[in-house]
Structure 1
Amino acid sequence: MPVAVVTGASSGIGKAAAIRLAREGFSVSLSGRKEDALKETADECIKAGLKQDQVVLNVGDLTDFDAAKKLIENTLAKLNTIDTLINSAGILTNGEVNSTDIEVYDKQMDVNVRSVIYLTKLALPHIIKSKGNVVNVSSIAGPCPFPGVTYYSISKAALDQFTKCLALEMAPHGVRVNSVNPGVIVTDIHKRAGMGDKDYEAFLEKCKSTHALGRAGDVDEVSEAILFLATSRSSFTTGELLRVDGGRGIMFPR
């Protein structure tokens, strides 16, 4: 049975990816900051067909390098191997450059880039052994610019370049590295970034005009793309930035 490490598994895309991988027959090592929410994901993975000992919980903040080390160590101790790493943990910060403190940039890059690189470095020796793969959860804000979320966009652009460069470095080892680049997906990330209920409803309504398919996406649509990249279905795909964005990235004002 293959083993997937999934970060950000307590909510949103990470939670949906964990459940989808469990349904596909992966053992899962789940990482998140909120223990109760992580337990809910674990319960859903068990409902999807896994046994209790095929689901490992790891509570901690991955910007803490000790937590990242414990995640890898705990996964190996209980599941013996790592076949795929799903880097889904991330945050969104709002604000224009001229009015947003540089400390916000530091936090954004620490969570979305630095911690991802460090965890990936820890996992790679084991992924090389299993001839596995890495899937990063990026954003359409990586390749496409949007005002008011510059620091977030920079972090996702960095993650995209990390994906492509690492894909070239890992190819000789038989390891694939890809990312998904979602458009607006209905999760709690925008509210956690400070958006109120009324503004969020207006934001989702606006998605009808900013996405070619006329709506925001849902987490299950992204989890299917993650599953594709995490399995042999994409055996000849590496360095890919797979847009799951409802056409948002090809929309231009006219």
Structure 2
Amino acid sequence: MSSLKGKVALVTGASSGIGAETARYFASLGCYLSLTGRNEANLKTVAEECQQNGLPKDKILLILADLGSEEDVKKVADKTIEYFGSLDVLVNNAGVVYPGSIETFTLEQFDKTFDVNVRAPLQLTHLLKPHLIKTKGAIVNVSSVNGVMAFPGVMTYCMSKTTLDCLTQNSAHDLAPHGVRVNSVNPGVIKTAVHKRGGMTDEQYAQFLKKCERTHAMGRPGNVDEVAKVIAFLASDDSSYVTGELITIDGGRHLLTVMAPEKTE
């Protein structure tokens, strides 16, 4: 993935989880970074880690933003182009999740979920399209296995990720004649803070991770680096003939319609 060296990438939701690891990995490959997130302290820490991975400080732009805000999304696009003058890679990673079923969801949660998980990637893709066309760049949307199969208790999140997958394939079709590729990664359970931010207690999260031993064919949840490396592949010239794909990185979660037997050790 040496083709990413010297390229400019915008990574949303870069202050934690998959976004933070993607930033660190891109930095190790020499990719210039525009990083956005809501937690300023975490964002600065990620920037320091990117420098430790060999990326000069002046090749890292930090933008504090809430992608639930239309104005902040535009700010992210404008500041990125103003600072770097071009864009090669857009990684739409920022996402939120709220618990809720058809009986318990709220319209407020629905709106907040779709604002961040769907509208922001759509808006950024639209705003940055001219710049990506100039560089014949790539877009990677961070979706979820929740986009390709149903899960109880997170209905609006599942709906948002299915819609994001639709955006991936439709924009891939529209942008292919311009040389821009668009793909999606659809992780299973990855060990990040997103579930706790969605309302899980430490005990609930521990039980959730334990359950993954039975719900994922490989018998474990995933790690952020396992997703970041696939994102980098899709962003690089190594995947030059790949577009419109939804790539599950889920340890075989989508293969199981029932829980696997408990391990006997």
Whether these two folds match at TM > 0.5 is yes
1:17 is the counterpart of 2:22: yes
Q: Which runs of 5+ in 1 are unaligned?
A: none
Residues 68 and 112, structure 2, Cα contact 8 Å, conserved in 1:
no
Deviation at 1:122, TM superposition (A): 0.9
Deviation per residue, 1:35-59 (Å, 9 max, x gap) = 1110011111111111111000000
Deviation at 1:203, TM superposition (A): 0.5
Query: What is the aligned residue count?
Result: 254
Aligned counterpart, 2:238: 233
Q: More displaced, 205-214 or 105-114?
A: 105-114
Aligned counterpart, 2:176: 171
Aligned counterpart, 1:204: 209
1:3 is the counterpart of 2:8: yes
How far, CA to CA, are the matches of 2:232 and 2:188 in structure 1? 18
* Root mean square deviation of aligned Cα: 0.9
Correspondence for 1:58 among 54, 63, 71: 63
Q: More displaced, 97-106 or 208-217?
A: 97-106
- When the two structures are superposed, what TM-score results if normalisation uses the length of structure 1? 0.98
Q: Which runs of 5+ in 2 are unaligned?
A: 1-5, 260-265
What letter is aligned with 1:89? A
Deviation at 1:116, TM superposition (A): 1.4
Deviation at 1:115, TM superposition (A): 1.4
Aligned counterpart, 1:123: 128
How far, CA to CA, are the matches of 2:196 and 2:123 in structure 1? 27
How far, CA to CA, are the matches of 2:78 and 2:122 in structure 1? 17
Identity, % of aligned positions: 49
How far, CA to CA, are the matches of 2:16 and 2:177 in structure 1? 34
Correspondence for 2:75 among 35, 49, 70: 70
1:104 is the counterpart of 2:109: yes
Deviation at 1:251, TM superposition (A): 0.7
Deviation at 1:66, TM superposition (A): 2.1
Pairing 1:79-98 to 2, within 5 Å after superposition: 79-98=84-103
How far, CA to CA, are the matches of 2:51 and 2:115 in structure 1? 32
Deviation at 1:106, TM superposition (A): 1.4
1:248 is the counterpart of 2:248: no
Correspondence for 2:34 among 20, 26, 29: 29
Q: More displaced, 66-75 or 51-60?
A: 66-75
What letter is aligned with 2:129? L
How far, CA to CA, are the matches of 2:76 and 2:117 in structure 1? 17
